[in-house]
Amino acid sequence: MEKAFRMITIENLHKRYHDTEVLKNINITIDDGDIYGLIGRSGAGKSTLLRCINGLETFQSGSIVIDGVDITTLQDKSLRELRKNIGMIFQGFSLIDRKTVYENIAIPLECWHIPKPEQKERIEKLLKIVGLESKRDQKARDLSGGQKQRVAIARAMVMNPKILLCDEATSALDPKTTDEILELLLQLNKEYGITIIMVTHQMSVIHRMCTKMSILENGHCMVSGDVKEVFLEQPEALQNLVGILECNLPETGINIEILITDEAVGQQFHSDLSLSLKKPYKLINSSLTHYREGVLSAFVMNISEECLEEFLAYFDAQHLSYKRIERG
């Protein structure tokens, strides 16, 4: 398999505001073309980390290497060059309301003194990609939230960046519009290979979009890894974030959670189990989560103590991932 090219390497990053350390020894690597999710509670440090990546914030120690360049070595002009390679979109869109769609997208091109004919070519292409050709002369203030975010995406893409940072980009949108914006971002990632970092509170955004993820907690990076593996392992930081299982566990018997990543195995699980063991059990909870690639089935079962050994032997023989869960 071809070795992935590393787009961003963050090592031992510490960031303080006055006496408060808000990023504590962050180590994260992001490959070219990844869609990387950063999730965590409010105040965990996600936005600060994004601002460190695009050079808007300095930090006290550690390093951030982007596309082979250590950004701490950069001065004014080269820092501006770095930012040219990093587009950013926000929850609040940050458009200029009195300007038209076309004029908003043109802002970075104007700043970089790109000749008008080239500006036109780039903007026309992006208007088509984001589906706003018919709105080109409309003022930004007259657009819907979803249309505003499309303009912001086009503006972020207009300098052909290698990286797109999305800070809660869909938090202000309704579910259908969120879906359309996420689809657009997936399309940009697929067609242009752009590396995307998504800061979000919404676990569904991580499921749908991301290949890898980190969980930030109070300035620490608690967990990093493949999205599906993180959900399979259910580390404490993830449980803290999603809350403990919201189902009433019976007071007798043993409660076991099974996680299955193969969709077909998940669908067959109960019938296979019943046919093989012919032992009773209660199904307490079941859920199906769709990921970017694949599906994760989770079942909580209540099993009597006498039958436990047999069930566990079956799960082991089937190489199923399971764990005992205790009543809260």
Strand, helix or coil for residue 293: coil
Nearer CB in complex with ligand ATP: 45/108: 45
- The partner residues of 301 in beta bridges, in order of sequence, read 256, 283
Question: Mask: binding to ligand ATP, 1-30, rule CB under 6 A, as x and -?
Answer: ----------------x----x--------
Q: Could you identify the residue written with the tokens 């004014």?
A: 76
Nearer CB in complex with ligand ATP: 47/149: 47
Q: How far is the CB of 216 from ligand ATP (least distance, A)?
A: 6
DSSP 165-198: EEESTTTTS-HHHHHHHHHHHHHHHHHH--EEEE
Nearer CB in complex with ligand ATP: 47/211: 47
Q: How far is the CB of 206 from ligand ATP (least distance, A)?
A: 14
Residue of 117, 118, 143 whose CA lies nearest to 132? 143
Question: Mask: binding to ligand ATP, 40-69, rule CB under 6 A, as x and -?
Answer: x-xxxxxxx---------------------
Q: How far is the CB of 93 from ligand ATP (least distance, A)?
A: 16
Identity of residue 92: G
* 112 is an interface residue for ligand ATP by CB under 6 A: no
- Strands across the sheet containing 282-290: 282-290, 295-303, 254-260, 321-325
* 210 is an interface residue for ligand ATP by CB under 6 A: no
Nearer CB in complex with ligand ATP: 40/87: 40
Nearer CB in complex with ligand ATP: 129/163: 163
Strand, helix or coil for residue 144: coil
Q: Measured at the alpha carbon of residue 232, what is the angle toward residues 227 and 233, in degrees to the nearest 5?
A: 100
DSSP 19-83: TEEEEEEEEEEEETT-EEEEEESTTSSHHHHHHHHTTSS--SEEEEEETTEEGGG--HHHHHHHH
Tell me which stretch binds ligand ATP (CB under 6 A): 35-43, 62-70, 298-306, 316-324.
35-43
* 241 is an interface residue for ligand ATP by CB under 6 A: no
Task: Give the residues lining the site for ligand ATP (CB under 6 A).
Answer: 17, 22, 40, 42-48
